[in-house]
């Protein structure tokens, strides 16, 4: 069984990181390769190549919506039994390419919002999903969001939550190159509007100087966030770490992990924090709340005042801290990547047999 996964590129992002961890394990059960609309040699790209994954790049940096991507995908798909798309551009162009391919097509829905909120896109989206044999949703929230738009014409769907290598995070040693001075609050995620690092920066500004913030990632809001830190006079307490290959070690060196996102389809970074044995405080938004509820603390979306109180409350209360660590690890164990691999493999076998 030959399976081709398709995504726009391998820049930093939840779906991209998922493929880096997931595809090498998936190839134990089937022949799996990856197609990219943009094939920049990012760190994720190099990691997949090192793990033996064949990567087909349609261009170096051509616009992901360039029509040439449709023809490249349609031609490549003829060599595979199943084609699995991720992210909007690939989902739309995959639907078009499926008209010229005998392969079985499936897709993963990673988000609860974005295009689902654009009313005029609904007819396009309904047609797009009709071209897929199966849709995998990363949470019940993403499934509900999709079905609200597609309605009764929705294809067969299955919820398979994202997963991580629990042992990798649990057994990690604290990062040795970072000076731990005070209480370390960490947030991992692309620096973007969606992730809303601005709220955690505002919360840090409301806390005593002993509280420091580590931001792991990179993205388009970097300069805006740095300007905000300077404006609030906390630039000496906010460390922008950039892209790191040692996220488990950074989490181990932290005291509390925060996810202050505007939007999350699932909340993989929250699971990583719980697996590393750290209390999680997250914004109460769809997808993320389902992962954290009853295993961590939730605060009202964009409420920096409440977030600051929650952070200080956890750090000052040893009993609460230990309780959240214990509950968080139990919750994280539910999302081991082996369960995800098994779920995807079973769907592929079902699709292939039809």
Q: How far from each other are the two terminal CA atoms of the chain, in whole angstroms?
A: 13
Q: What is the pLDDT of residue 114?
A: 52
Q: What is the pLDDT of residue 353?
A: 87
Q: Tens digit of pLDDT for each residue in 175-231?
A: 999 988 899 999 999 999 999 999 999 999 999 999 999 999 989 999 999 999 999
Q: What is the pLDDT of residue 197?
A: 98
How far apart are the C-alpha atoms of 28 and 54, rounded to whole Å?
Answer: 14
How far apart are the C-alpha atoms of 116 and 324, rounded to whole Å?
Answer: 34
Residue with token string 């051509």: 62
Q: Mark the ranges of the chain whose per-residue pLDDT is less than 70.
A: 113-119, 153
Judge contact between 5 and 86, C-beta under 8 A: yes
Q: Let me know if the fold of 2-163+336-353 is the same as that of 166-335.
A: yes
- Biggest CA–CA distance in the chain, Å, is 62
Q: What is the pLDDT of residue 155?
A: 82
The CATH number assigned to the domain with range 166-335 reads 3.40.50.2000
Q: Where are the beta strands (DSSP E) in the chain?
A: 2-7, 31-36, 54-57, 82-86, 104-109, 134-137, 157-159, 183-188, 211-216, 238-242, 256-259, 280-283, 297-299
Judge contact between 146 and 154, C-beta under 8 A: yes
Residue ranges of domains in the chain: 2-163+336-353, 166-335
* Tokens read off for 20: 């880096």
What CATH class is the domain 2-163+336-353?
Answer: alpha beta
How far apart are the C-alpha atoms of 84 and 3, rounded to whole Å?
Answer: 7
How far apart are the C-alpha atoms of 148 and 21, rounded to whole Å?
Answer: 31
Closest CA to 348 of 72, 78, 28: 28
How far apart are the C-alpha atoms of 277 and 186, rounded to whole Å?
Answer: 13
pTM of the full predicted structure? 0.86
Q: What is the pLDDT of residue 354?
A: 79
């Amino acid at each position: 069984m030959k399976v081709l996964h398709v995504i726009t590129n391998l820049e930093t992002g939840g779906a991209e990181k998922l493929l880096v961890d997931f595809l090498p394990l998936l190839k134990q059960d089937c022949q799996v390769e990856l197609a990219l609309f943009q094939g920049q040699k990012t760190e994720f790209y190099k990691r997949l190549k090192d793990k033996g994954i064949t990567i087909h790049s349609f261009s170096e940096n051509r616009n992901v919506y360039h029509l040439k991507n449709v023809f490249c995908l349609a031609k490549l798909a003829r060599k595979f039994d199943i084609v699995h798309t991720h992210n909007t551009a690939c989902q739309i162009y995959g639907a078009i390419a499926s008209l010229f391919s005998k392969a079985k097509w499936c897709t993963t829905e990673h988000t609860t919002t974005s295009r689902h909120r654009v009313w005029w896109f609904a007819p396009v989206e309904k047609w797009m999903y009709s071209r897929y044999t199966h849709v995998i949703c990363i949470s019940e929230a993403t499934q509900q969001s999709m079905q609200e738009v597609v309605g009764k014409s929705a294809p067969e769907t299955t919820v398979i939550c994202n997963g991580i290598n629990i042992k990798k995070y649990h057994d990690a040693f604290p990062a040795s190159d970072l000076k731990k001075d005070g209480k370390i609050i960490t947030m991992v995620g692309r620096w973007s509007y969606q992730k809303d690092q601005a709220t955690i920066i505002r919360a840090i500004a409301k806390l005593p100087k002993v509280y420091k913030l580590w931001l792991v990632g990179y993205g388009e809001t970097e300069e805006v966030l740095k300007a905000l830190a300077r404006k609030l006079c906390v630039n000496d307490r906010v460390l922008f770490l950039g892209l790191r290959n040692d996220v488990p070690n950074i989490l181990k060196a932290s005291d509390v992990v925060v996810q202050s996102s505007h939007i999350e389809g699932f909340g993989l970074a929250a699971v990583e924090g719980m697996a590393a044995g750290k209390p999680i405080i997250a914004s109460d938004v769809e997808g993320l709340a389902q992962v954290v509820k009853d295993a961590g603390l939730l605060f009202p979306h964009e409420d920096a005042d409440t977030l600051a109180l929650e952070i200080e409350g956890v750090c000052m209360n040893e009993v609460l801290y230990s309780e959240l660590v214990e509950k968080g690890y139990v919750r994280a164990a539910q999302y081991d990547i082996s369960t995800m691999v098994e779920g995807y493999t079973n769907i592929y076998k079902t699709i292939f047999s039809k």
